[in-house]
A and B are shown apart, each in its own frame.
Chain A
Amino acid sequence: MSIPGLLPELEVIRKDFPILERVLDGGRPLVYLDSANTSQKPQVVIDTMVDHLEHHNANVARAMHQLGAESSEAFEAARDKVAAFIKAPSRDEVIFTKNATEALNLVANTLAWRGDLQVGEGDEVVITEMEHHSNIVPWQLLTERTGATLRWFGLTDDGRLDLSDIDELITERTKVVSLAWVSNMLGTINPVREIADRAHQVGAIVVVDASQAAPQLPVDVVASGADVLVFTGHKVVGPTGIGVLWGRREVLEALPPFHGGGEMIETVRMERSTYAGIPHKFEAGTPPIVEAVGLGAAVDYLGHVGMDAIHAHEQAITAYALEGLRTVPGLTVMGPLDAASRGGAISFEITGVHPHDVAQVLDSRGIAVRAGHHCAKPAHARFGVQSSTRMSSYLYTTPAEIDALVDGLNYTRSYFKLGE
């Protein structure tokens, strides 16, 4: 089965991911449709990390020996690769964090402290109703602690941002606008640039959560309009334990340090310290070295396949999945129904079967999906549901896997004795 837009060498790509050959208990082949949760890893990422640990392991920046130099070089080369992946104007603007969550918390925390960008009483922070909890709770904490006000864009019935009140929401009181580029629940691709332009007119800074965008879309941080953009390594075929915070140099320089410790200093006296320049100012302590090296290999891999080609593949699979899901009686997709305006995560409900039970029956057939609120409770509440089932594809997903999902959903309905 081939459909236009699929990666031409899909079978070769699949061979790059050893886990896809995994056979589960009972002899079921794996159908992995949970890539928005975490992506699988190609052999080259696994090998690069093993090679680093086997041959080059040492601490970075503070070991005066050959291994130390090799390790530092590999770590800093990973920064170069990430900078190229997101078209960052400068490698120094790329900061390694633990994950997207830590990157968002870094920004939301440092904005509370004294400085040019400090958020205080009377100021406003604007987010959206479709955010992941990691782009909601840090801003709630910030506004609660500083006396600022949290506001948000609502959603339309078809799962897009409701921009009708943008001029009431983004005003001269707005200090920060933070939003997801691609929703992890609704799949919606948001008009980041349009919102960023409006935010910049009032002097606000724009934070973009690209956790679901970076795996699927070509990212150009400058063109996106973001002042700060974050994503997480494990969703871009990299390892867990590593995330990225990119920020415009002026913004990163204006923010005070987050964690204090080794590597983030220039000099330390007992009374006071001075701080290193970016990126090190925000990288206190021994960083996740092998994870960064693995992430470098991951974004290199995606670059070789080509983000335009990956995006086209996602759109083809998503369109095919939307079509297949439509044939399942009682199934409702949440979010936009045209593949062009969405990413590869599709959440849905089936009348009469709870998402937990859907996921359980699918699991018994080797199909891995996510069931629950996907860390987006407000977005679920907006659509009057408590939870949903989510399938999410990636560059290794085949139309045959979508067929298996659709068959599995029909079987789920018959298992729970639902009529036509």
Chain B
Amino acid sequence: MDLDSLYQEIILDHYKHPHHAGLRDPYEAEVHHVNPTCGDELTLRVHLADGVVSDVSYDAMGCSISQASASVMADLLIGKDVDEAMSIHQTFLELMQGKGQVEPDEDVLGDGIAFAGVAKFPARVKCALLSWMAWKDATAQSLEKEKA
């Protein structure tokens, strides 16, 4: 396995200098997700306003892949309509579950295309998805609250 296809420069940059890190107010929902096999942990908050993801903030402990993934995700989703954000989420999920066979779409995923190589390392797919799963969970909870 080619190490460089996993550890793209973009991933290492986001790992060293994560964007939007730290927990911020206001938020409607906060979730805590863990990867039970390796112990990676993430606390994530979502703030929605007028159907827009107006903030995603997080506190993450984990490997380069999981940390960089949270940073790239926050870049991508903050400022998007919830519907569009959900569709980006779906596109990223398909890329990760594609076993390296899916051609990533840079227009949709931006820096997220750097994770295409991760899909070839089954043990690391969960690392890349930790923050995305947490975001989906927190967003669903925020929407529930809105309705109530």
Name the one of A353, A357, A372, A416 contacting B39, with C-beta atoms under 8 angstroms: A372
A193 lies within 8 A of chain B by Cβ: no
Q: Is A355 an interface residue (CB 8 A)?
A: yes
Q: Which of A234-264 contact B (CB under 8 A)?
A: none
Decide: A361 near B3, CB < 8 A? Known: A355-B63, A356-B65.
yes
A355 proximity list for chain B (CB < 8 A): 38, 63
Chain B residue contacts of A361, Cβ below 8 A = 3
* Most B Cβ at <10 Å: residue of A372, A380, A417: A372
Q: Which residue of B lies closest to A381 (CB)?
A: B39
Tell whether, in the assembled complex, residue B1 and residue A387 are in contact, meaning their CB atoms are under 8 Å apart.
no
What total of chain B residues lie within 8 Å of the partner, measured CB to CB? 19
Residue of A whose beta carbon sits closest to that of B38: A372
What size tier do the contact residues of chain A reach? 20 to 34
Q: How far is the CA of A363 from the CA of B3 in the complex (A)?
A: 9
Cross-chain contact A415 with B64 (CB below 8 angstroms): no
Whether a CB of chain B sits under 8 angstroms from the CB of A377 is yes
Q: Does A354 contact B (CB under 8 A)?
A: yes
* CA A417 to CA B61, docked complex, whole Å: 20
Nearest Cβ distance between residue A110 and chain B, in whole angstroms?
A: 28
Q: Does A420 contact B (CB under 8 A)?
A: no
**B7 CB–A CB distance under 8 Å:** yes
Nearest Cβ on chain A to B123's Cβ, whole angstroms: 8
Q: Could you tell me if B38 and A371 are in contact, using CB atoms closer than 8 angstroms? A: yes
Q: Which of B43-91 contact A (CB under 8 A)?
A: 61-65, 67
Q: Inside 8 A of B121's CB, which chain A residues have their CB?
A: 360
* Contact for B62 among A354, A364, A415, CB less than 8 A: A354
- Per the bound structure, the CA–CA distance linking A372 and B34 in Å amounts to 12
Contact across chains for A360 and B12 when beta carbons are under 8 A apart: no
B14: CB under 8 A from chain A? no
Task: Assess the B12–A356 pair: CB atoms within 8 A.
Answer: no
Query: B39, A364: Cβ atoms under 8 Å?
Result: no
B38 CB contact (under 8 Å) in A26, A353, A373, A417: A373
Enumerate chain A residues within 8 angstroms of B41, measured Cβ to Cβ. Answer: 386
Query: Does A271 lie at the interface of the complex (its beta carbon under 8 Å from any beta carbon of B)?
Result: no
Docked-complex contact B61 and A386, CB < 8 angstroms: yes
In the complex, what distance in Å separates the CA atom of A356 from the CA atom of B38?
8
A142 to chain B, nearest CB (A): 22
Contact with A along B7-29 (1 / 0, CB 8 A): 10000100000000000000000
| Cβ contact within 8 Å between B64 and A357 | yes
- Roughly how many angstroms separate A26 CA and B1 CA in the complex, as a whole number? 8
Q: Is A25 among interface residues, defined by CB-CB distance under 8 A?
A: yes
Residues 367-388 of A contacting B (Cβ, < 8 Å): 371-373, 377, 380, 386-387
Q: Determine the distance from Cα of A178 to Cα of B4 in the docked complex, in whole angstroms.
A: 46
Q: For A357, list chain B residues within 8 Å (CB).
A: 7, 63-65
- Known interface pairs A354-B63, A360-B3, A415-B7; A387-B12 also in contact (CB < 8 Å): no
Whether B127 sits at the interface, judged by CB under 8 Å, is yes
Bound-state CA distance A127–B125 (Å) is 36
A residues in contact with B62, CB < 8 Å:
354, 356, 386
| Shortest Cβ-Cβ A-B pairs, 8 listed | A356-B63, A354-B63, A373-B39, A372-B38, A364-B3, A387-B39, A386-B39, A357-B64
Known: A356-B127, A416-B64. 17 other contacts (CB 8 A): A353-B64, A354-B62, A354-B64, A355-B38, A356-B38, A357-B64, A360-B3, A363-B1, A364-B1, A372-B38, A373-B38, A377-B39, A386-B39, A386-B40, A386-B62, A387-B40, A416-B12
